[in-house]
Amino acid sequence: MNQPMPEVSPYLPRWAEISRIEDLTASEKLFEMHLVSGEPLGHKPGQFVELSVMGIGEAPISVSSPPRGDNSFELAIRKVGNLTNAVHSLNTGDTVGIRGPFGTHFPIEEAKGKNILFVAGGIGLIPLRSFIHFVLEHRDEYGDITILFGARNPSEQLFLDELEQWGKREDITYLETVDVPDPNWKGNVGVITTLFPKIDIDPSRTCCIVVGPPVMYRFVILEAKAKGIPDNQIFLSLERRMKCGVGKCGHCQINHIYVCQDGPVFRYADIFDLGEAL
C-alpha cells in the first residue's frame, strides 16, 4: 500500500543548486536554481521563498519565474546586505537553502477573462514578472494586457531584453518611464503616474496589480481609482516587511495583519483602512 508523502516542513530548507547567473544591473543578478530533490518548487505567481546561505542567515526573496513543469525557478536578487552580498558571491554549482513557498499569490484565477493593468516600480518588477510571464504563457485566457514600468534611471531597468520584447508585442500595451534620464533616453520622463493619462482601460473589467516602493502605492492607487477601477479589483504586494515567513517573528505585523501569512498580496479593499501604516 502506497503511503502519502509527508508534507514539507516550513522550518526546514530544501537544497537548491544554482544553474545559471545573469547580471541584470550593477546591483541585481538573476539566479536560476534547481531543487536538488528533483521536485517542483510548487509556487504560484506572487509568492516568496526564504533563501539561506549556511553561516550567514536567510532572507525572503520573491520568486520571479512562473510555475514550471520541472524543479527549476528563478530569483532576482538585489545586493543590499550580508545575505544578499553572500549570494552575489556564489557561482553556478553552489547550493543554497530554500524554505517555502510562502504567502498569498496574485489573482491568477479571478483575473481570467478580464483585462489586467500591471504597475511596477523599480524592483517591484521582480515579483510581477512571474505573473506577467504566466499571463503571456496563457494569453488566450486573459483580456487586454497593459504593463507600466518605472525606474529611477535607465541603468536601473531590469530584464532589458524582455522589456524590448514586450514593447514589440501587438497583443499587449507596454509603457515605461524613468525619473532621471541619461543622454540616450528617448522615452517618457517622470514618475510612474505620468503614464496613466496615456492608457485607456475599461475599469469594470480591469484588475490592477501594483508592486513597488512604499511611497508609490498611495499615488498609483489614486490614479487607478481616478480611472474608475474599484477597490476590490486593485491588488498590492507588501512583501518588503517580511522576515521569517511563518508569522513567528512579528517583524511584518501591521496592526492585526501578518504580511507573510495574510499576504504578501492583498486586495486593496481589504486593507485600505490601514492608511499610513502601509
- Whether the pLDDT of residue 2 is over 50: the answer is no
What are phi and psi for residue 92, nearest 5 degrees?
-60, 140
- Whether the pLDDT of residue 69 is over 60: the answer is yes
Fold of 115-277: Rossmann fold (3.40.50)
Prediction pTM value: 0.92
More confident: 249 or 181 = 181
The CATH superfamily holding the domain 14-102 is Translation factors (2.40.30.10)
CA 20/CA 250 separation, integer angstroms: 34
pLDDT of residue 241: 67
User: Which residue, 26, 43, 225, is CA-closest to 119?
Assistant: 225
pLDDT of residue 3: 44
Query: Where exactly does CATH 3.40.50.80 map onto the chain?
Result: 115-277
More confident: 270 or 3 = 270
Confidence band (pLDDT; 50, 70, 90) for 260?
confident
Residue at 266: amino acid letter = F
Confidence band (pLDDT; 50, 70, 90) for 271?
confident
pLDDT of residue 237: 92
Query: Where exactly does CATH 2.40.30.10 map onto the chain?
Result: 14-102
**For the segment 156-166, what is each residue's pLDDT rounded down to a tens digit?**
999 999 999 99
CA 49/CA 72 separation, integer angstroms: 13
